Structure 1
Amino acid sequence: MRALRLPRLSSLRAFDHPGYLAVWMGALVSTIGTWMETVAMGVYVTQETGRAEWTGGIVALTFLPSVVLSPVGGALADRFDRRAYVALGTVVQLVLAGVLTLLAFTHQLSVPAVAVISLLHGCASTLINPAFSAMLAELVPPSDLHSAMSLNSAQFNLGRIIGPALAAMVLGVGGTSWALLVNTLSFVAVLVALSRVKVPPRDSAKTSNGLWKQIAHGISVARQDTDISLMLWGTLFIAALVAPFIGLVPVFAIREFGQGAAATSLLVTCQGAGAVTAALVVGTLVDRLGQRRLLAWLALSIGAVASLYWLAPSLQLAAVGIFVLGANYMMLMSGMHAFCQARVPRNLQARMSSLYSMVLGGGYAAGVWGQGALADRVGLRFVTVSFSILFLALVLTLRLLSPRALEGSEA
């Protein structure tokens, strides 16, 4: 009986560690607020401009800083106390959210203002995300790292379920300004959680090297490890070719189905529900298939799943499609992230996480803006389906040319 229960519960092992659970709960509250803001701003920009290029462009501005700042954030996280570093970044995010809220309440909100604050928020997030990921890794033993990364992604996607539902309700009752206010207050939960956590001490003796030398060392380690390089290249192509389905949800709901905030919230919620469901079973799948083999199958399937989502003829079928796509995407991306971190010592994990964030954010920024711009000219479905099929073709080509590349030895 026990042998049957362990695989089922393996996905939740990180919750056995109180520090991890406290941070997870605080982050969930903040994520709910963030998704309320995301839905509100996506609908606002799409309705104000009527262009997918602008909607994708605003989303891209949030992720564009990762191309430059992710390595810096990773190196800084390996030099300073990660808990204090994350707390400082959270305060900055709270202030930026407060400014956006104030603009909304005073009727001064505009698309350029949203763009500027999105860029600044992206800078802050980029600088603290590697430290946050590395801090989570410090709160669990190495054997529970995949569980910790998957549950962190589940937290993000559980917020994607609750946040849009609350956003639809708040937008209908109080309007954009109240949704933004809730997001501002949600950052307090992270600060409270951090105040209750003790991060285990780590060896920080060799931090006398310059910042740029630390960055260069992290890049060198990633380049020399062929498995890490493969995961980072895979992350880049997924981010650019497939992941824009996330940022273009408002355009899909409004343009293809003729609906607004309610349809946008439904699709975003269904994606989150798929991701949370996947987080509950991914540990069992890893136990049975092995991490590398599971990642290989997920990479093979995501292009086809994304194509079916974009081809859905009705909102109901699109909701089913994005549920499956959200599950596939969560398992694939969190698995590649965990794989990269597991292959390096703890004093390099923040820098490795920063490289992952750099290629993910850079690829996603280029992809969501580029696909949005092309969609305005040749059609949303044609563009998105074409890029999804292109990714599928790339994976099939890699599998044919190098059959062992995707299913190599386990980390």
Structure 2
Amino acid sequence: MRALRLPQLSSLRAFEHPGYLAVWLGALISNIGTWMETVAMGVYVTQETGRAEWTGGIVALAYLPSLVLSPLGGALADRFDRRAYVAVGTAVQLALAALLTVLAFTGHLSVPIVGVVTLLNGCANTLTYPAFSAMLAELVPPRDLHSAMSLNSAQYNLGRIMGPLLAALVLQAGGPPWALFVNTLSFVGVLVALSRVSMPARDTPRTVESLWAGITRGISVARTDEDISLVLWGTLFVAALVAPFIGLVPVFAINVFGQGAAATSLLVACQGAGAVVAAVLVGTLADALGHRKLLGLAALSIGGVSALYWMSPTLTVAAAGIFVLGANYLTLMSGLHAFATARVPRELQARVSSLYSMVLGGAYAAGVWAQGALADRVGLRFVTISASVLFLALVLTLRLLSPRSFERSPS
């Protein structure tokens, strides 16, 4: 198929490639459903338990598998046909979503069951995501990789906008079971998109590495490349100290502002809207400023922006604050991911992507649970503002000690 002629903004260049566009649309449909489930289960757990620790703990279960399974997922993605591998992972997630739906409709849903299904879904997602990310990289030329990563984050956050808004309507009309049912159907979008994509031919290596050798090779590359190591350390601190704002939205809306599902949906949607705006602009900004300088500016600002969000006196101010925070977060995280992935050859991209996912998921799981647990004891605002200020202090310290980390171009 001939490439589409779309972009005037360099951020949109990946849409010129039909295979990428098809997968992007399928993933968007799936993520709309996923965010409907996320909001429904976040509200359900918060209302059932009344504790931030439980809400944060359930969210953490989705990301804990990345600590163990991300390197394995990256190595597997570099051994098998990535399209087929992603299809199998999507089918498993569809089955888990269907199970949760049946339990909800039959009145057997409980917080522990939600936790178990969340953990299993986290395992499936962790094993699948490196292949999905590397598959996107195969569908575009190297010059469009940053665009592809940013637009992938944009579709995720479009789902974050549309899913919560639909969830608010569905929860009001029919309750959690129907939100879970829509999520189950949404996985079909990915399977249909994958069936319509032709992957470019890949070179077959002369020697096949053992699975363990493949994992250790990816880790070795990350350890010896100074820039990839810096990206992974930065990802760890962002995930642990700042990113918990995502999982703690229901607690902020319900326990602090005294609202419910509608307020939770509003905040989640506003974060997504900010991220989508950033995704449209980030590629162009990266071309104008340079990737490293843009990442440095995003890292410097996100701690302060996060602190201001948590200080919001009203729900309206919080909605505006999380819009800006969502834009800042996408700019930083999509940039870090693309920067690290672009530094290695294609046969290693899934493994580097898996290490990024491992650090992001593991640190986020620890951070969202720890901040939730501390919030129950000393207050949500105190804990989250302190974490945001700590991150800002760490970035300022790094800038003073190593200013080149924020300025030099990648080698």
User: Normalised by the size of structure 2, how large is the TM-score?
Assistant: 0.98
Counterpart of 1:378?
378
Deviations 1:20-46 (A, max 9, x none): 000000000000000000000000000
Counterpart of 2:402?
402
Counterpart of 2:75?
75
Counterpart of 1:3?
none
With over 3 angstroms needed to count, the CA separation of the structure-2 counterparts of 1:337 and 1:318, relative to structure 1, is same
C-alpha displacement at 1:204, in angstroms? 3.0
| Paired amino acid for 2:271 | Q
SS in 1 for 2:404: helix
Give % identity: 77
Work out the CA distance in 1 between the residues paired with 2:168 and 2:207: 47
Work out the CA distance in 2 between the residues paired with 1:223 and 1:256: 42
| Paired amino acid for 1:403 | P
C-alpha displacement at 1:155, in angstroms? 0.3
Counterpart of 2:265?
265
SS in 1 for 2:9: helix
Work out the CA distance in 1 between the residues paired with 2:63 and 2:390: 23
Contact 2:290 2:409 in 1 (8 A): no
Number of aligned residues: 406
C-alpha displacement at 1:107, in angstroms? 0.4
C-alpha displacement at 1:403, in angstroms? 0.9
Contact 2:240 2:364 in 1 (8 A): yes
C-alpha displacement at 1:7, in angstroms? 8.9
With over 3 angstroms needed to count, the CA separation of the structure-2 counterparts of 1:206 and 1:315, relative to structure 1, is farther
Contact 1:36 1:167 in 2 (8 A): yes
Q: Equivalences for 1:275-314 in 2 at 5 Å? A: 275-314=275-314
Query: What is the RMSD computed on CA atoms of the aligned residues?
Result: 1.0
Q: Which runs of 5+ in 2 are unaligned?
A: 1-5
C-alpha displacement at 1:409, in angstroms? 1.9
Counterpart of 2:171?
171
- Whether 2:390 is the aligned partner of 1:390: answer yes
Counterpart of 1:162?
162
Counterpart of 1:144?
144
Counterpart of 1:357?
357
Counterpart of 2:48?
48
SS in 2 for 1:122: helix
Work out the CA distance in 1 between the residues paired with 2:346 and 2:171: 43
SS in 2 for 1:287: helix
Deviations 1:337-356 (A, max 9, x none): 00011000000000000000
Counterpart of 2:3?
none
Counterpart of 2:65?
65
Counterpart of 1:199?
199
Deviations 1:198-221 (A, max 9, x none): 111112315621101100000000
Counterpart of 2:96?
96
Deviations 1:132-164 (A, max 9, x none): 000000000000000000000000000000000
SS in 2 for 1:313: coil
- Stretches (4+) displaced over 3 A: none
C-alpha displacement at 1:288, in angstroms? 1.1
C-alpha displacement at 1:284, in angstroms? 1.6
Work out the CA distance in 1 between the residues paired with 2:207 and 2:168: 47
| Paired amino acid for 2:124 | A
Work out the CA distance in 1 between the residues paired with 2:407 and 2:122: 34
SS in 2 for 1:201: coil
Work out the CA distance in 2 between the residues paired with 1:203 and 1:220: 22
Work out the CA distance in 1 between the residues paired with 2:224 and 2:178: 49
Counterpart of 1:21?
21
Work out the CA distance in 1 between the residues paired with 2:280 and 2:374: 37
With over 3 angstroms needed to count, the CA separation of the structure-2 counterparts of 1:7 and 1:395, relative to structure 1, is farther
Work out the CA distance in 1 between the residues paired with 2:385 and 2:248: 13
Q: Which runs of 5+ in 1 are unaligned?
A: 1-5
Contact 1:30 1:186 in 2 (8 A): yes
Deviations 1:84-122 (A, max 9, x none): 000000000000000000000000000000000000000
Work out the CA distance in 1 between the residues paired with 2:41 and 2:401: 44
Contact 2:374 2:383 in 1 (8 A): yes
Work out the CA distance in 1 between the residues paired with 2:356 and 2:207: 22
SS in 1 for 2:276: helix
Deviations 1:316-374 (A, max 9, x none): 00000000000000010000000011000000000000000000000000000000000
Contact 1:46 1:55 in 2 (8 A): yes
Contact 1:399 1:405 in 2 (8 A): yes
Q: Equivalences for 1:117-132 in 2 at 5 Å? A: 117-132=117-132
Contact 2:78 2:350 in 1 (8 A): yes
Work out the CA distance in 1 between the residues paired with 2:148 and 2:284: 14
Contact 2:7 2:16 in 1 (8 A): no
| Paired amino acid for 1:102 | V
Work out the CA distance in 2 between the residues paired with 1:8 and 1:283: 11
The worse-fitting range, judged by mean Cα deviation, of 202-211 and 69-78 is: 202-211
With over 3 angstroms needed to count, the CA separation of the structure-2 counterparts of 1:273 and 1:175, relative to structure 1, is same
Contact 1:204 1:347 in 2 (8 A): no
Contact 1:7 1:287 in 2 (8 A): no
SS in 2 for 1:79: coil
Contact 1:78 1:347 in 2 (8 A): yes
Work out the CA distance in 1 between the residues paired with 2:78 and 2:60: 27
Contact 1:7 1:283 in 2 (8 A): no
Work out the CA distance in 2 between the residues paired with 1:207 and 1:96: 37
C-alpha displacement at 1:407, in angstroms? 1.9
Work out the CA distance in 1 between the residues paired with 2:8 and 2:388: 32
C-alpha displacement at 1:8, in angstroms? 5.1
Counterpart of 1:331?
331
| Paired amino acid for 1:271 | Q
Work out the CA distance in 1 between the residues paired with 2:402 and 2:350: 30
Work out the CA distance in 2 between the residues paired with 1:7 and 1:399: 35
User: Normalised by the size of structure 1, how large is the TM-score?
Assistant: 0.98
